[in-house]
Every structure is written in C-alpha cells, then in structure tokens.
Amino acid sequence: MSGVGIEVVKTIVRLEALAPEWAALWQRVPATTPFQSPAWLVPWWRHFRPGRLSTVGLWRAGRLTGVLPLYHADESPGGNLRLLGGGNTDYLDALVEPGCARELGPVIGEALAQIREPDEAVRLERLPAWSPLACVEGDFDRGREDEPCPVLDLPHGSRSCWKDARYLLRRLGRMDGFAIRTAGGDDLGVAIDCLAALHASRWAERGMPGIFADPTNAAFLREAAAALLDAGASVRQIRDALDALRRKDPTLRQPLVERRLVLDGSRLLVESDRVRFDPHTGQTVLDLDAGHLETAARATLVTGLVRPLQPPVEQAETWFERASEWDSDPAQWEDAVAAYRRVVAIDPTYAAAWNNLGLLLHRMGRYDEARGAYTAALEQDKG
C-alpha cells in the first residue's frame, strides 16, 4: 500500500524511543488490552530477551499507525518468529490504527515476509478474536482456539454485583487480621512481593516452584506495573467517569463495552466513534495531537515545505460532515448531536449546523433544546 513505511526495530534503545508514539497509538485503539502497550512489552523485552528483536513499526505521514512486536526465537528446527510477551501474557497481538486493519493487512504480510528468516516458522499465538492479524494472509500458525485467556463477562445490571462486592470487602476489612489496601507508588513493590509469596506458597502445595522462583519475573512485574500505573487512570477516576456516564445516559447497559475510556493527560475522557467528550460535563474535546504536529513541523525543516495548520473554519466543516453522516442513523444520534455542538463551538455563526442540530433534537423528542438551536439558527441567518 502506498504511503506506508515499514521500520524494523532491532535494538532495545530504538524500542524504548518508539514507546511514546506506541503509547499514543495504544490509547487510540478501542479493542486492545494492557498487554499490547509499551508499558508492558518494553519491560518484558528488557528483562527476558529470549531471542533477537525484530519489531515492526508502520508509519504514514510521520504518524505511527501499526506495531507488530516480534522477535526471532532461536528454537529448533529452523527457529520461530514470535510475538513479544509469550509465557506470562494472556493476549498477544499487533496494534493497528482503528479502522485500518483490512487496509494494512497486506503491508503487515509484506513486513512478515521481509523479516522472516529461511526455514523460520511464524507463530502468531494467543491472539484475541478481534485481532487485526486475522486480516493477514499467509502460512502462519495462529494458535489454538482453546488457549486459556481468562475473561469475566459481567451480566446486565452488574452494578448490583459491584455493590455486593463492596459490601463483602467492607465486612472482610472489619475482620481481625485482615487489611485491604490499594497498591500504588511506594506500596507497589510490597504488593508484588506479597503476590510472589502467595503464588510460591500455592505452587509449593503441588511440589512445584512456580514462576516467581526466577526473580526475573518479579523484577519485570514491578517495572511493568509501575509503568502501567503511570500510563493509566486511577480506579477512582474510572469509577467516577462511569457513574457520570450512566447519569447522562441511563440506557447504557455496559459502558465499557459501548464506550471507550481514554486518558488525556490527567483527564479521563469518553470516546464514541472517535469523538471524545468529558463524561461529567458532556462537553466535546478537540483532539490536537501535539506529537503528530511536532513530527510534521520537524519534517518541514527538512523539506523546506511549510504547511499551515488547519484553520478553525475547516475544522468546523470536518465535524459538520461527520455529523451529517451520523444523523441519519438513530444508533448514532447522540454522536451526531455532539458533533453538531462541536461545530457551533468552533463557529457559532454556522446557521446550517444550528438548524440541523435543532431538527435532530426535535426528532429525539428533546423539544426545549431543539427550540434553542432553531433560535440560534434564525439569529445567524438574518443576513
């Protein structure tokens, strides 16, 4: 596919340098897990290094659009090309820009063919059902469907489950000899040590040492857990965001399935169809990718070309086009409302956006809000 560059990362230094762009991509992908983040995989490689690094980065217009974390395992016969994280990671997978899996499939196939060594097998194992690697053609071992990757599906109305759990935890906390704490910061190392001791005790009952007999596993977990905490949101932030989201939309049965929580600096935002908004205020948030802009600016110094930033009017047009697409689908009406509001926040004189917003709110039965939008449309259309 034209416009996509393939980078093969062979050193830990370059892998670490890739981490900021990689983390930004990870934040943009709704169907992913912590095990695909650089916070997990970079420490994994730093501590274990079970072969020769050969991770693939896919770049388009200075922006990282895909990561295929691979290494050559010198195993007989012929060796294997494997995904980073094997052995102590539930899900292994590539990371691809949302909506681009099918488009980038041939490029991933080309990259695999490029780095694959003679007689080497490609082992793409422990993939989730939604893996973008399903779109890649080739003679690859994609593992077995019965590989254990535990997932707990909470039933509808699961808020009562959380209430019961909190009640039981409070009772447990009042019992003599028990203390319940949330690990983080200075307590994180102590929590990992306790986990290792508990794990070793459990396996000792079976006459086996367990994985923490090798101190490398505990050292890796300490580093990865700290990195994930730095990259992620606190439990309190997530709980507050979910409570606010349920108050604003009581019809949501499974907020974490139907919406995506995204950490933007210290703010926890909700994302729906790539539109981000604050769950507490409902206000949409303009996504200015500073890293991408910085990369583009550096490129202009090299090429001598200057490309002006997109002016606010063009941003309004972009959101108006998105809103117009979404307002024909009842399932996306809320997203369309948010997009129209984003248009008029950028350009309050945009009469067509006010008018369309009024029509949509009227169809949704939100008549008072519709009246306000119609009034704004008339005010802007006087000329």
Q: Is the same domain home to 90 and 198?
A: no
Q: Is the same domain home to 249 and 333?
A: no
State phi, psi for 229 to the nearest 5 degrees. Answer: -65, -40
Give the closest residue to 230 by CA, choosing from 32, 25, 37, 15: 37
pLDDT band of residue 145 (cuts 50, 70, 90) is low
Take residue 37 and report the two structure tokens written for it: 């983040």
Q: Which of 135, 151, 177 represents a domain boundary (last residue)? A: 135
Q: Is the same domain home to 222 and 239?
A: no
Total structural domains in the chain? 4
pLDDT tens, position by position, 23-57: 889 988 877 888 999 999 999 999 999 999 999 99
CA pair distance 262, 269, nearest whole angstrom? 5
Q: Is the same domain home to 51 and 124?
A: yes
pLDDT for 258: 60
pLDDT for 364: 87
Query: Does position 361 have pLDDT exceeding 80, yes or no?
Result: yes
Q: Give the contacts of 183 (CB within 8 A, at least 6 positions apart).
A: 190, 191
Any domain includes 155: no
pLDDT tens, position by position, 170-216: 777 677 777 777 777 678 888 898 899 999 999 999 999 888 889 99
Q: Is the same domain home to 116 and 223?
A: no
pLDDT tens, position by position, 245-254: 777 777 766 5
pLDDT tens, position by position, 122-133: 998 888 878 888
Take residue 43 and report the two structure tokens written for it: 């420490």
What's the CATH code of the domain at 351? 1.25.40.10
pLDDT tens, position by position, 304-352: 333 333 444 457 777 887 888 787 777 788 888 988 898 888 888 888 8
Query: Does position 273 have pLDDT exceeding 80, yes or no?
Result: no
Domain that holds residue 177: 169-231
Q: Is the same domain home to 326 and 283?
A: no
Mean of pLDDT over the chain: 79
Q: Is the same domain home to 55 and 36?
A: yes
Q: Is the same domain home to 208 and 262?
A: no
Q: How far is CA 36 from CA 56, 133, 340, in A?
A: 14, 13, 34
Q: Is the same domain home to 27 and 110?
A: yes
